[in-house]
Amino acid sequence: MAQLSSRYASALFDLAIGSGKPDEYLEQAVFLRDTLRGSDYKHLITHPQIPTAKKLELINEAFSGRIHADLCGFLHMAVSKNRESFILPGLDAFIRMMDEWGGKVTANIVCAEELGEKQSADLKALLEKKIGKKVEIAAKVDKSVLGGFHIMMDGHFIDATIRK
């Protein structure tokens, strides 16, 4: 599954770079991924009893004119070949490739309490200075953490939590 998702992502990456509008592709891919992940679209597109023609019609109604024709073509191809389950992993892989190409890293932070704006900004600045890349903060609260936080970023794990 990972190989096919990677091939789809690589093809989208090549199209995005070749178009001269990689930021536009990235923005639309994030929109598409978030829309599919957070709605009934995913269930409709992947449902085995819904005919392919109906799925393609749904895609056209929902996304035509809202996303680039190449991204729409990716959806059409995946649905036509009964590979709907590869859409979200392919989009995730494409977004990671674009972030890496753009020098951006996501720092997944799990903390005991919600980070304030200043804390988030300070942590972002510190991490950017440390690794020399743009950092995007994705913070999540976990009540099992009594204090502190842990960060997973660019293959590194920093644990500064108190659990007991």
Q: What DSSP line would sit under 110-151, residue for residue?
A: EESSPPPHHHHHHHHHHHHHHHSSEEEEEEEE-TT--EEEEE
Q: Any alpha helices (H) in the chain, and if so which ranges?
A: 2-19, 22-37, 41-46, 52-63, 69-80, 87-101, 117-131
End position of a domain, from candidates 101, 121, 137: 101
Q: What is the tally of structural domains in the chain?
A: 2
End position of a domain, from candidates 82, 101, 120: 101
pLDDT of residue 77: 92
11, 75: one domain = yes
Confidence of residue 31 (pLDDT cuts 50, 70, 90): very high
69, 90: one domain = yes
Confidence of residue 2 (pLDDT cuts 50, 70, 90): low
27, 71: one domain = yes
In this model, does residue 94 exceed pLDDT 60?
yes
The parent domain of residue 109 ranges over 105-162
The amino acid at residue 77 is: M
pLDDT of residue 125: 92
pLDDT of residue 41: 75
Q: How far apart (Å, rounded) are the C-alpha atoms in residues 84 and 79?
A: 5
* CATH code of the domain covering residue 48: 1.10.520
Q: How far apart (Å, rounded) are the C-alpha atoms in residues 105 and 62?
A: 30
End position of a domain, from candidates 101, 122, 153: 101
110, 94: one domain = no
